[in-house]
A and B are shown apart, each in its own frame.
Chain A
Amino acid sequence: MTSIRLEGVDKSFPGVRALEAVSLTIEAGEFFTLLGPSGCGKTTLLRTIAGFYRQDKGHVYLGEELIDAIPPHQRETGMVFQNYAVFPHMTVFENVAFGLRNRRIGGAEIGERVDRALRMARLSGLEKRTPDQLSGGQQQRVGLARAMVIEPRVLLMDEPLSNLDAKLRIEMREEIRDIQRQLGITTLYVTHDQEEALVISDRIAVMKAGKIQQIGRPWEIYKNPGSTFVASFVGDGNFLEGEALEGGDGGLVTVKAGSTRIRVKRPAKALKKLRLFFRPEELTVLSGQAREEEGCSLVGGKIRKVTFTGSLISLSVDCGGEAAIAVQRHRPEVSDILAPGTPVTVRIPLEAVLLFDPETGERL
């Protein structure tokens, strides 16, 4: 088990600054995910660790060893590629044995280790197949077995599931997580799929434009986003632009957003303009008029649209502002399916509202 440490890593390509002063430590045995939209630098970071790119500035360590000058074939990393990169001219067995042969390991041991790796990846019996006889999912299992069999110091996975169909993706992410736990191997995983990141990771780094925005456990990232970017990229949410009104009592302040008034906790930094954020599942829709209560704001509006997706119902409520407020309810009742135009009240709990600086996008 080996940790990965980056210190102030910069990498530019002509016209693009792909990585900007990236520092981060991935603990030994940790499942760490780089999450971000395409072009955010997550793959560049992974490839820099693999040695396919040489950073312009900064250092990369595996454990205590500085690996900046070590060529990629000597870095002992196991990489799993987005488009599998299974050698089409070799059988499954030969693919998995390839890394072992490069290490001059004896034939008997190769057989044994390949066998074990194939069993782990649930590929036993397919040794003699060639890649064109395998499904996408099976090819990616070969990719995984091939990377694991060399017992690499760290496992690097570059969007390994994004070429698979949705159902298989969910199945395989569980398997990858199980195998990783079982072997306890340090894993760096790259994805643009926020749900996948939340499910699979010990910790997540959210990236944007070559910079790390936030690092945290999945729960923290979701519940406690540090910036509007993280809040919007991970999960769904409502944003409202508003102005803080003068006065207010003690720890609370009222924000005017369009024609609505929402009470929020007073931010540490006193700003006139504020950006409000709250998750749809924190809200409740009440039919007709509702009574004021402590610790929440009530906003009147009309149902614009109702979307039923089985386990979940999504309501879009017009509250006089330009954007509608989205509300989600799990285990919906038939009475939740309201006709468009029905007047309702949306209940927004005080704790649900997060405040951001609209200028910088930073959390207040």
Chain B
Amino acid sequence: MPPSFWTLVTLLGYAVVILFLILPLFNIFKFSFIDKETGVLSLSNYAEFFSKAYYRVSFTNSLFVSVGGTLGCLLLGIPLAFFTTRYRIFGKSFLSTLAVLSLLSPPFIGAYSWIMLLGRNGFLRQLLAGWGIQFPTIYGPLGIILVYSLHYYSFVFLLTCGALTTVDRSLEEAAENLGATGLRKFFRVTLPLVLPSVTAGALISFMMSLSNFDTPMIIGGNYRVLPTLAYNLFTSEVGERPGLASTVSIFLILCSSLVIFLQRYAAGRRKYSSSLVNRPLVKSLKGWPAFGAHLVCYLIVFLSTIPLAIVAFYSFRKTSGPVFHPGFSLDSYLKIFHEVPKTITNSLLFSTVSVVLIVAVGTLLGFILARRRTVPAKALDPLLMIPYMIPGTVLGIGFIIAFNRKPLYLMGTGIIIILAYFIRRLPYSVRSGASILKQIDPCLEEAGINLGAPPARTFRKVTVPLMLPGILSGAIMSWVTAINEISASILLYVGKTMTMPIRIYLSIMDGYFGNASALSTILLVVTGLALYVMNRFFEGPKESFVA
């Protein structure tokens, strides 16, 4: 008997995992134990990492900015979520769309906008200096924490919103009936009910802060964190140290695995909410309380969106080389269309091809996880979690080590970038496929089979059409994250495979802010359009952006 359709799909899943995850990771692991002088197996890299304060400090730095960023996210995300879900806030959906847009744009856009405002020649800083106020520059850990907070708070915001809108109203009414009102009700009943979601949001923020590479590169000054250390060690033209970079990568993976573990634990406890509930009432506020609530909400969203506005603003400024002049023009756009049209087509091509792969493979594997009870199918689940734990920089390093020799020589091709996008986003796609399937009664598929449609045909005729809305909105999300990806592709690109985020990053580093702004604006518009399509045509809670 030939192997069944789903057996073949399971095999495909294992092929993907082994080739694009296990192999690169194993290579990193191996490299971390190879001595740079002798080339033999040893613990010298680890010894060096621990013995030199230069390396050790980047570890504590990483923790510091991640904790700081996470606290900032909680501080911004929880009040915004509470006010927008419980009180009538004018322009609520506009606010949450902006929050999502700022989340999905690459963080380095935020980083360099803040430099434009509060950097050495920052616009705001000079304005203040004109009034005699000396404002400190933004470079360093505080700048990083500021950018993380204003960027990743949407995770906390969206997850908390989701939980707050599905808390059964009767629970809060019961609390009131039993005599708990106001803050007491919030802290004793409401907050504990949504705490698992808040925790999950905080852990995602932490994880993202920990693995982010571009923000510290741009705004960090000399402040080193683990991802930038790994990147520099690996790519440095003088004295590159792939072994030590691998060791740093191992530490990063260990940290993020721990966080993921905690996050799964928190998510596993997110059981309170259900979809069949009395939705909480949305109250109307009047007078000062109404003003206060609006002020808080608009201020938070304004601060997180201002980088995007600044980028768009500067993209229309007159420039000559790196210098901005008074007045407006389309120079920057003309220049990028003239000089780097390839980066735009590359970005579109790579992200589109990767999304096709992500959707096809993710949906099939999602089916395996949700429906198949065989041991190999179950074992695939934790394996597919691995990409969650690998920061982009680490994946990039792993890909370089794994695919720079025959028979899989992929360096310098678009394929390797597509594969990096694909593997980074695959677990999200698998998960969302599986969770959509869990809402589809397996009886429907059994009915299809019982009526004579073989498994593959049943999948095509019954399962896929039912999953389609979920698949399409997931595909848009994947596309958006792919087109904004930088931390893995920055290691994998060559001149002819450069993408928009990489070009933007390089322009910022070279001081060509005009070009960077114009490209960033294009990227933002594309991202915004995709989000618009998704909101317009697919229903569904906004948490799906992050979960």
Given A87-B462, A89-B465, A89-B466, do A99 and B451 touch, yes or no (CB 8 Å)? Answer: yes
Contact (Cβ within 8 A) A73 B466: no
Closest Cβ of chain B to A60, distance in Å, is 15
A residues in contact with B452, CB < 8 Å: 73-74, 76, 99, 102-103, 150
Chain B, residue nearest A76 (CB): B452
Alpha-carbon distance between A84 and B63 when the two chains are bound, in angstroms: 54
The answer, yes or no, to whether B443 is at the interface (CB within 8 Å) is: yes
How far is the CB of B215 from the nearest CB of chain A, in Å?
44
Asked whether B451 lies within 8 Å of A146 as measured between CB atoms, the reply is yes
- Decide if A79 touches B453 in the complex (CB within 8 Å): no
Assuming the A-B contacts A73-B455, A83-B443, are A88 and B449 also in contact, with contact meaning beta carbons closer than 8 angstroms in the complex? no
B443 neighbours in A (Cβ, 8 Å): 81-83, 85
Interface residues of B in 459-488 (CB under 8 A from A): 461-462, 465-466
CA distance A286 to B545 in the complex (A): 75
CB of A201 within 8 Å of the partner chain = no
Question: Is A52 on the interface with B (CB-CB < 8 A)?
Answer: yes
CB distance from A155 to the nearest CB of B (A): 11
Is B450 at the interface (CB under 8 A from chain A)?
Answer: yes
Give complex CA distance A143, B447 in Å. Answer: 9
Residue A63 lies at the interface, judged by CB distance under 8 Å to chain B: no
Distance of A78 Cα from B452 Cα, bound (Å): 9
| Residue pair B446, A73 in contact (C-beta under 8 Å) | no
Is there a chain A Cβ closer than 8 Å to B122's Cβ?
A: no
B522 to chain A, nearest CB (A): 37
Interface centre among A87, A143, A147 (most CB of B within 10 A): A87
A75 to B462, CA, bound (A): 19
Q: Are A73 and B454 in contact (CB under 8 A)?
A: yes
Contacts A88-B466, A98-B451, A102-B453 given: A83-B446 contact, CB under 8 Å? no
In the bound assembly, the distance between CA atoms of A165 and B441 in angstroms comes to 21
Interface check B448, CB cutoff 8 A: yes
Q: Which residues of B contact A86 (CB under 8 A)?
A: 447
If A87-B462, A89-B466 touch, does A73 touch B450 (CB 8 Å cutoff)?
A: yes
Contact B465 A78, beta carbon cutoff 8 Å: no
**A77 on interface, CB distance cutoff 8 Å:** yes
Partner of A77, one of B441, B450, B457: B450
Contact between chains at A72 and B451 (CB < 8 Å): no
Residues of B within 8 A of A50 (CB): 446, 450
Assembled-state Cα–Cα distance A86/B447 (Å) = 8
Which residues of B have CB within 8 Å of A71? 454
Contact A150 B466 (CB under 8 A): no
Q: Is the CB of B450 within 8 A of A78?
A: yes
Q: How far is the CA of A146 from the CA of B449 in the complex (A)?
A: 13
Contact A73 B453 (CB under 8 A): yes
> In whole angstroms, what is the CA distance A77 to B452 when docked?
9
> How many whole Å from B366's CB to the nearest CB in chain A?
18
Report A42 CB to chain B, min CB distance, Å: 17
- Mark out the residues of chain A between 75 and 115 whose CB falls within 8 Å of any chain B CB in the assembled complex: 75-79, 81-83, 85-89, 98-99, 102-103
Task: Name the one of B447, B458, B465, B466 contacting A79, with C-beta atoms under 8 angstroms.
Answer: B447
Q: Using Cβ atoms and an 8 Å threshold, which residues of chain A touch B448? A: 87, 98
Chain A minimum-CB-distance residue to B461? A98
Cα distance A146–B453 in the bound complex, in angstroms: 13
A81 touches B453 (CB 8 A): no
Alpha-carbon distance A50/B450, docked complex (angstroms):
7
CB proximity to A under 8 Å, residues B335-361: none
B interface footprint on A31-75 (CB within 8 Å = 1, 0 otherwise): 000000000000000000010100000000000000000011111
Choice from A81, A98, A103, A150 contacting B446 with Cβ under 8 Å: A81
Are B444 and A52 in contact (CB-based, < 8 A)?
no
Shortest C-beta distance, B460 to chain A (Å), equals 12
Interface residues of A in 127-171 (CB under 8 A from B): 143, 146-147, 150
Question: Contact between A85 and B451 (Cβ–Cβ < 8 Å)?
Answer: no
B450 touches A79 (CB 8 A): yes
Report how far A329 CA is from B523 CA in the complex, Å: 82
* Distance between Cα atoms of A78 and B455 in the complex (Å): 17
Q: Chain A contacts of B466 at CB under 8 A?
A: 88-89
The secondary-structure label for the interface of chain B is helix
Q: How far is the CA of A88 from the CA of B462 in the complex (A)?
A: 9
* Docked complex Cα distance between A147 and B452 (Å): 11
Contacts A81-B446, A102-B457; is A150 near B441 (CB within 8 Å)?
no
A16 to B508, CA, bound (A): 64
CB distance from B479 to the nearest CB of A (A): 24
- Cβ contacts under 8 Å, B441 to chain A: 83, 85
CB contacts (< 8 Å) of B455 on chain A: these are 73
Least distance between B207 CB and chain A CB atoms (Å): 34
Closest chain-A Cβ to B470's Cβ sits at a distance in Å of 13
List chain A residues, Cβ under 8 A from B462: 87
Instruction: Evaluate whether A98 and B453 lie within 8 angstroms (CB atoms) in the complex, with A87-B462, A89-B466 already known.
Output: yes
Are the CB atoms of B465 and A73 closer together than 8 Å? no
Residues of A within 8 A of B465 (CB): 89
**Residue pair B457, A52 in contact (C-beta under 8 Å):** no
- Name the distance in Å between A110's Cβ and chain B's nearest Cβ: 13
- Can you name the residue of chain B whose Cβ is closest to the Cβ of A52? B446
Q: Which of B447, B454, B455, B465 has the most CB of A within 10 A?
A: B447
Complex CA gap A89/B455 in Å reads 18
- Minimum distance in angstroms from A344 CB to a CB of chain B: 49
Question: Closest residue of chain A to B1, judged by CB?
Answer: A69
Could you give, for residues 207-238 of chain B, a 1 whenever the CB lies within 8 Å of some chain A CB and a 0 otherwise?
Answer: 00000000000000000000000000000000
- Identify the closest chain A residue to B440 (Cβ): A88
Q: Which residues of A contact B453 (CB under 8 A)?
A: 73, 98, 102
- Assess the B450–A87 pair: CB atoms within 8 A: no
Q: Is the CB of B457 within 8 A of A87?
A: no
Q: Which residues of A contact B444 (CB under 8 A)?
A: 85, 87-88
- Chain A residue at smallest Cβ distance from B455: A73
Report the separation of the CA atoms of residues A113 and B457 in the bound assembly, to the nearest whole angstrom.
Answer: 22
Chain B residue contacts of A79, Cβ below 8 A: 446-447, 450
Which of A74, A76, A85, A89 contacts B447 (CB under 8 A)?
A85
Separation in Å of the A185 CB from the closest CB of chain B? 15
A73 adjacent to B447 (CB under 8 Å):
no
A52: B residues at CB distance < 8 A: 446, 449
Nearest CB in chain B: distance from A269 CB, A:
46
Q: In the docked arrangement, what's the CA distance between A98 and B446, Å?
A: 13
Point out the residues of chain A lying under 8 angstroms from B454, CB to CB.
71, 73
Q: Which residues of A contact B457 (CB under 8 A)?
A: 102
Among the interface residues A72, A85, A103, which one has the most CB atoms of the partner chain B within 10 A?
A85
Give the CA-CA distance A10 to B447 in the complex, in Å: 24
**A103 CB contacts on chain B under 8 angstroms:** 452
What are the residues of chain B within 8 A of A82 when measuring CB–CB?
A: 443
Residue among B443, B448, B451 with the most chain A CB within 10 A? B451
Give the most central of B446, B454, B455, B461: most A CB within 10 Å.
B446
Among the interface residues B444, B457, B465, B466, which one has the most CB atoms of the partner chain A within 10 A? B444
CA separation between A184 and B451, bound complex, in Å? Answer: 20
Q: Complex: how many Å from CA A88 to CA B73?
A: 41
Chain B, residues 411-454, CB within 8 Å of chain A (1/0): the string is 00000000000000000000000000000010110111111111
Complex interface: chain B residues within 8 A of A88 (CB):
444, 466
Quote the shortest CB–CB distance from B439 to chain A (angstroms).
12
- A351 to B: closest C-beta gap in Å: 47
User: Which residue, of B444, B448, B449, B452, has the highest number of chain A Cβ atoms within 10 A?
Assistant: B452
The CA-CA distance from A83 to B444 in the complex, in Å, is 9
Give the docked Cα–Cα distance between A83 and B446 (Å): 12
Interface contacts beyond A73-B458, A85-B447: sample of 19 additional A-B pairs, CB < 8 Å, sorted by A: A50-B446, A52-B449, A72-B446, A73-B449, A73-B451, A73-B453, A73-B455, A74-B452, A81-B447, A86-B447, A87-B444, A87-B448, A89-B465, A99-B452, A102-B457, A143-B447, A146-B447, A147-B450, A147-B451
Question: B residues touching A (Cβ–Cβ < 8 Å)?
Answer: 441, 443-444, 446-455, 457-458, 461-462, 465-466
Q: What are 9 A-B interface contacts by the 8 Å CB criterion? A: A50-B450, A72-B449, A74-B452, A77-B450, A79-B446, A85-B441, A87-B462, A98-B451, A150-B451
Per CB-CB distance, the 8 closest pairs between chain A and chain B, nearest first, are A99-B451, A85-B443, A102-B452, A85-B447, A79-B450, A102-B453, A73-B449, A89-B465
